[in-house]
């Protein structure tokens, strides 16, 4: 089983987000980055499938030089090799533009499966996997909670709304977008970190690729959301806040 | 050059978000001065098409085909592609449902167009729609403009007030699609629910809900103490359950339980939309979060900005005192 895992690098959770001078994207100067969490779950699922069935796990990640740290992490956890699609300006791009770059590289890989997280924690498009499936001509399923290989097909458990689930059988090759929590995440071992240094990372420059699409949406401006603020914000030292809150809940909201 | 709304149905019942998307579509159609249309897909859908015709659409397309009886991304994409090519709407509006997440990016890709997903607002400028979407799970907003037609956009749950049925008499037009069973690659089985949950949060009067701000499983006693003194049920955001710190059945949100207690304490929860949809029916919401810009404060009635590890124990003491 050859499995590609498409991962994204995103700003560390709870980063202080500052908008750049033009209001078009983040000021990236003092941000730190990490692997998008749903993609970490996709990687985990891929590694466990490989442990069960044998084969190869290949990680692909698009972005500037800094994403090599995320690629190293994936290799340290057990991916066999990686492809870095080098591109400087992907930050605010639409999902189709970035996915088309990935597809242009992946069409030569002929995997059995492509796994990716169901959405990214930064832009939250939730589209990359589905677009890849369409561009590569593969079947797909989204919001996947379980994967059961069955020869030339796989049976996956999809999460639906309101506590419903559904099993779906798909022919291979297929793209799956993985829901967080599908398996328990592993940590990279010291041994894994050492080994990662010897694994192959192929670099492809986005400018050498010819994706079959042009950008069709533009993020014109980013800003802090306007506050509707009917919220009463309580501040002060913790004891004082607690006292005010209990008073409000008892005598104003009358819920205590 | 219409605005076309895709009305989502499951087994003959509307998805409750369908008419929120319709409301968004109506607003855009009016400001662009173009007709509003809708489409219903499925098998044996006359009843649904008739029902849709009561709303303020100029026209309702009924796309009835046995191969659409069960949703598949291949079937829905092929059917809508044919409709869009035949009738050339300038904008197609969807609810941002799990089903739409599954096929709309495929459909828009077929037209080599971006899909503007999870929109919370729309403005029109120079006869063009500008879509507002959230970034970083609601911490920032972005204005997005699409170029060229058709355009594709989905609307976040709760962002628009659902369109109400009127005495409208929209024209129903049957739109026959050519589908071949060989085109449909996935085989969906019957949807199911997991075995009965042993915890029913929907009946809870007071809920103390904990998020990733708690940092470690070993810190849970901090919030358990609050739940204890309030006689409250303990609940959690998804990552807490993903990590196995609390059982899945205590998860609140779009893939967990939908609750409406008298008081909901959101402690160290950022307020992502998938969490909000599960708790915004609560009577009184109290949020405790160290980030004053956390989106949860938009939903809260009372907000305490600060470290939960200081505020929650102080709150426990105050409640004990007030009960004494
Ligand atoms: C299809 C789909 C379905 C989903 N279903 C659900 C669902 O049913 N339920 C659900 O909850 N989520 C769901 N999610 C996930 C959701 O998008 C969010 O990722 C999740 O709700 C975030 O959980 P959180 O708020 O606990 O964590 P975070 O977003 O990481 O927020 C943690 C918060 O804690 C605060 N904090 C940190 N330290 C402290 C401290 N010491 N004191 C006070 N505050 C602190 C931070 O400021 C931050 O606001 C779903 C996502 C998808 C894509």
B7 with B104, same domain: the answer is yes
Q: Give per-residue pLDDT as tens, B116-165.
A: 999 999 999 989 999 999 999 999 999 999 999 999 999 999 999 999 99
**Mean pLDDT, rounded, of chain B:** 96
The CATH number of the domain holding residue B32 is 3.40.50.620
Q: How many helices and strands (H and E) does chain A possess? A: 6, 13
Chain B residue with minimal CA distance to A144?
B102
pLDDT exceeds 80 at position B318: yes
Residue B193 counted as domain residue: no
Q: Which two tokens stand for residue B107?
A: 């459909």
B108 with B146, same domain: the answer is yes
B142–A92 C-beta distance less than 8 A: yes
What is the maximum alpha-carbon separation in chain A?
Answer: 67
Residue B84 counted as domain residue: yes
Burial environment of residue A197 by CB neighbours within 10 A (0 to 12, 13 to 18, 19 or more): exposed
For B291-296, the CB contacts below 8 A with 24+ separation are B291/A14, B292/A233, B293/A224, B293/B139, B294/B139, B294/B270, B295/A225, B295/B137, B295/B138, B295/B139, B295/B270, B295/B271, B296/B266, B296/B269, B296/B270, B296/B271
B41 with B155, same domain: the answer is yes
Q: Please name every residue paired with B126 in a beta bridge, in sequence order, or none if there are none.
A: none
B239–A224 C-beta distance less than 8 A: no
B66 with B178, same domain: the answer is yes
Chain A residue with minimal CA distance to B293?
A224
The C-alpha of B222 sits at a distance from chain A's nearest C-alpha, in angstroms, of 15
Choose from B110, B185, B277 for mutation: most chain A CBs within 10 A: B185
* Centroid of ligand 1 to alpha carbon of A205 (angstroms): 35
Give residue B169's pLDDT: 86
The CATH number of the domain holding residue B229 is 3.40.50.1220
Residue A66 counted as domain residue: yes
* Centroid of ligand 1 to alpha carbon of B54 (angstroms): 40
Residue A169 counted as domain residue: yes
The C-alpha of B298 sits at a distance from chain A's nearest C-alpha, in angstroms, of 6
B154 with B246, same domain: the answer is no
Burial environment of residue A239 by CB neighbours within 10 A (0 to 12, 13 to 18, 19 or more): middle
Q: Give exposure, B187-222, as e/b (b: 16+ Cβ within 10 Å).
A: ebeeeeeeeebebebeebebbbbbbbbbeeeebbeb
Residue B190 counted as domain residue: no
Give residue A256's pLDDT: 86
Residue B291 counted as domain residue: yes
Closest listed residue to residue A70, CA positions, set A3, A8, A4: A8
Q: In a structure prediction context, what are the per-residue pLDDT tens digits for chain A, which is 256 residues long?
A: 999 999 999 999 989 999 999 999 999 998 999 999 999 999 999 999 999 999 999 999 999 999 999 999 999 999 999 999 999 989 999 999 999 999 999 999 999 999 999 999 999 999 999 999 999 999 999 999 999 999 999 999 999 988 899 999 999 999 999 999 999 999 999 999 999 999 999 999 999 998 878 889 999 999 999 877 688 999 889 999 999 999 999 999 888 8
In order of B7, B27, B107, B115, B283, the CA distances from B100 in angstroms are 11, 21, 10, 11, 31
Atom of ligand 1 nearest to the CA of A121: 19
A223–B141 C-beta distance less than 8 A: yes
Choose one of B119, B150, B183: the last residue of a domain.
B183
B148 with B205, same domain: the answer is no
Residue B319 counted as domain residue: yes
Residue B268 counted as domain residue: yes
Chain A segment 209-248 residues within 8 A of B by beta carbon are: 212-235, 238-239, 241-243, 245-246, 248
B145–A216 C-beta distance less than 8 A: no
Contact status of A167 with chain B (Cβ, < 8 Å): yes
Model ipTM value = 0.96
Q: Which two tokens stand for residue A176?
A: 């799956």
Give residue A163's pLDDT: 84
Domain that holds residue B57: 3-183
What is the maximum alpha-carbon separation in chain B?
Answer: 73
Q: How many residues does chain A have?
A: 256
Chain B segment 182-201 residues within 8 A of A by beta carbon are: 185-194
For B22-26, the CB contacts below 8 A with 24+ separation are B22/B55, B22/B57, B22/B93, B22/B162, B22/B163, B23/B160, B23/B161, B23/B162, B23/B163, B24/B93, B24/B119, B24/B122, B24/B155, B24/B159, B24/B160, B25/B91, B25/B93, B26/B56, B26/B163
Q: Look up the pTM and report it.
A: 0.96
B169 with B263, same domain: the answer is no
3-state secondary structure A192-233: HHHHHCCCCEEEEEHHHCCCCCCCCEEEEEEECCCCCCCCEE
Give residue A229's pLDDT: 66
**B119 vs B159: CA distance, rounded Å:** 8
Closest listed residue to residue B16, CA positions, set B74, B85, B95: B95
Domain total in chain A: 1
Ligand 1 shell residues, CB under 6 Å: A 13-14, 118-119, 143; B 137, 211-213, 237-239, 251-256, 268-270, 272, 274-275, 278, 288-291, 294, 307-309
Chain B segment 7-66 residues within 8 A of A by beta carbon are: none
B161 with B71, same domain: the answer is yes
B71 with B208, same domain: the answer is no
Chain B residue with minimal CA distance to A129?
B105
Domain total in chain B: 2
Spell out the residues 6+ positions from residue A208 whose beta carbon is closer than 8 angstroms to its own: none
Residue B280 counted as domain residue: yes
The C-alpha of A198 sits at a distance from chain B's nearest C-alpha, in angstroms, of 31
The CATH number of the domain holding residue A52 is 3.40.50.620
Contact A5, A59 (CB under 8 A): yes
DSSP state of A186: P
Give residue B265's pLDDT: 98
pLDDT exceeds 90 at position B194: no
Residue B166 counted as domain residue: yes
Residue A53 counted as domain residue: yes
Closest listed residue to residue B105, CA positions, set B126, B76, B131, B83: B76
**B253 vs B278: CA distance, rounded Å:** 4
The rounded Cα B315 to chain-centroid distance in angstroms is: 33
**A233 vs B286: CA distance, rounded Å:** 10
B115 with B214, same domain: the answer is no
Give rounded-to-5 percent helix, strand, coil for chain B.
35, 30, 35
Burial environment of residue A27 by CB neighbours within 10 A (0 to 12, 13 to 18, 19 or more): exposed
Average pLDDT over residues B242-271: 95
Chain A segment 96-125 residues within 8 A of B by beta carbon are: 96-97, 99, 118, 121-125
Closest listed residue to residue B292, CA positions, set B273, B271, B310: B271
Choose one of B183, B213, B231: the last residue of a domain.
B183
Q: CA angle B70-B275-B271, nearest 5°?
A: 145
The C-alpha of B171 sits at a distance from chain A's nearest C-alpha, in angstroms, of 31
Domain that holds residue A103: 2-208
DSSP alpha helices (H): ranges in B6-150? Answer: 18-32, 46-52, 73-87, 98-110
B221 with B166, same domain: the answer is no
pLDDT exceeds 80 at position B322: yes
Query: How are beta strands A153-159 and A164-171 bridged, if at all?
Result: antiparallel
């Amino acid at each position: 089983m050859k499995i590609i895992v498409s991962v994204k690098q995103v700003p560390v959770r709870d980063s202080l987000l500052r908008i750049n001078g033009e209001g078009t994207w983040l000021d990236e100067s003092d941000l730190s980055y990490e692997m998008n969490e749903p993609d970490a779950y996709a990687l985990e699922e891929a590694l466990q499938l490989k442990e069960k069935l044998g084969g190869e796990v290949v990680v692909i990640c698009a972005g500037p030089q800094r994403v090599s740290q995320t690629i190293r992490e994936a290799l340290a956890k057990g991916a066999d090799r990686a492809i870095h699609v080098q591109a400087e300006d992907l930050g605010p791009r639409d999902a189709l533009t970035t996915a088309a770059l990935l597809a242009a590289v992946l069409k030569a890989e002929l995997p059995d499966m492509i796994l990716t997280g169901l959405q990214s924690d930064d832009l939250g498009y939730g589209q990359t996997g589905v677009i890849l499936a369409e561009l590569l001509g593969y079947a797909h399923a989204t919001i996947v909670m379980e994967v059961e290989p069955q020869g030339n097909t796989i049976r996956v458990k999809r999460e639906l709304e309101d506590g419903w689930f559904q099993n779906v059988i798909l022919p291979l090759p297929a793209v799956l977008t993985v829901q967080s929590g599908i398996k328990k995440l592993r940590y990279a071992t010291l041994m894994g970190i050492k080994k990662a240094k010897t694994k192959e990372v192929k670099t492809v420059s986005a400018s050498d690729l010819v994706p079959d699409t042009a950008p069709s949406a533009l993020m014109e401006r980013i800003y802090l959301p306007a506050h509707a603020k009917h919220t009463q914000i309580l501040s002060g030292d913790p004891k004082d806040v607690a006292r005010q809150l209990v008073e409000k809940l008892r005598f104003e909201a009358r819920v205590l | 050059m219409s605005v076309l709304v895709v009305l989502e149905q499951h087994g003959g019942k509307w998805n409750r978000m369908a008419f929120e998307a319709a409301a968004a579509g109506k607003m855009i159609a009016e400001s662009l001065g173009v007709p509003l249309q809708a489409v219903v897909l499925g098998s044996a859908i006359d009843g649904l098409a008739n029902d849709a015709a009561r709303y303020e659409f100029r026209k309702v397309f009924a796309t009835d085909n046995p191969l659409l009886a069960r949703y598949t991304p291949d079937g829905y994409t092929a059917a809508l592609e044919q409709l869009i090519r035949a009738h050339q709407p300038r904008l197609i509006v969807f609810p941002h449902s799990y089903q739409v997440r599954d096929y709309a990016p495929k459909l828009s890709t077929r037209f080599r167009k971006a899909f503007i997903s999870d929109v919370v607002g729309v403005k029109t400028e120079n006869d063009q729609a500008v879509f507002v979407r959230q970034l970083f799970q609601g911490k920032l907003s972005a204005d997005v403009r699409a170029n060229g037609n058709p355009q594709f956009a989905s609307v976040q749950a709760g962002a628009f007030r659902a369109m109400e049925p009127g005495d409208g008499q929209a024209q129903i037009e049957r739109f026959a699609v050519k589908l071949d069973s060989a085109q449909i690659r996935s085989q969906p089985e019957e949807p199911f629910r997991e075995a009965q949950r042993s915890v029913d949060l929907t009946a809870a009067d007071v809920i103390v809900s904990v998020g990733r701000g708690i940092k470690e499983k070993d810190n849970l006693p901090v919030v358990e103490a609050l739940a204890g003194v309030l006689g409250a049920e303990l609940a959690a955001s998804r990552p807490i359950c993903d990590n196995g710190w609390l059982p899945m059945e205590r998860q609140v949100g779009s893939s967990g339980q939908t609750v409406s207690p008298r008081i909901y304490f959101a402690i160290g929860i950022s307020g992502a939309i998938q969490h909000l949809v599960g708790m915004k029916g609560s009577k009184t919401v109290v949020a405790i979060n160290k980030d004053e810009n956390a989106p949860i404060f938009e939903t809260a009635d009372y907000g305490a900005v600060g470290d939960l590890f200081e505020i929650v124990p102080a709150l426990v003491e105050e409640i004990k005192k007030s009960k004494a």
